Amino acid sequence: GAGVSQSPRYKVAKRGQDVALRCDPISGHVSLFWYQQALGQGPEFLTYFQNEAQLDKSGLPSDRFFAERPEGSVSTLKIQRTQQEDSAVYLCASSQGLRGVNTEAFFGQGTRLTVV
């Protein structure tokens, strides 16, 4: 494909609403990362998948955040009962390998979530 694709590009949610953000990684990429980027900040790690296994979810800010990658390709980040502090750009990235020369992470354009 053309790269990592995220949808929707923009999402406005009312406080308390559930949202689902989708990431289509580059085909064949083993690693998939989700990041949260608040305005004026660097990307903050949320969670990491190696194929379908979620190996690290230490960055998820609360149990309202849930991510899955059931078949080792497409991933969904779900946020339940959204709060205003969840407003941010959510970035997805994928990489071909685990370490070494194939660890370049390719990023999607992000989903800008605004909670009103």
Partner 1 sequence: AQRVTQPEKLLSVFKGAPVELKCNYSYSGSPELFWYVQYSRQRLQLLLRHISRESIKGFTADLNKGETSFHLKKPFAQEEDSAMYYCALQGAQKLVFGQGTRLTINP
Cβ neighbours for 54, distance < 8 A, ≥ 6 positions apart = 47, 48, 67, 68, 69
- Interface region with partner 1, contact rule CB under 8 A, candidates 22-30, 55-63, 65-73, 77-85: 55-63
User: DSSP letters of 58-82?
Assistant: TT--STTEEEE-TTSS-EEEEESS-
- Told to check if 39 binds partner 1 by CB under 8 A, we report no
Binding partner 1 (rule: CB under 8 A), the pick from 13, 30, 74, 105 is 105
Residue type for 84, please?
Answer: Q
Contacting positions for partner 1 (CB under 8 A) = 3, 33, 35, 41-45, 48, 50, 55-56, 59, 91, 93, 98-101, 103-110
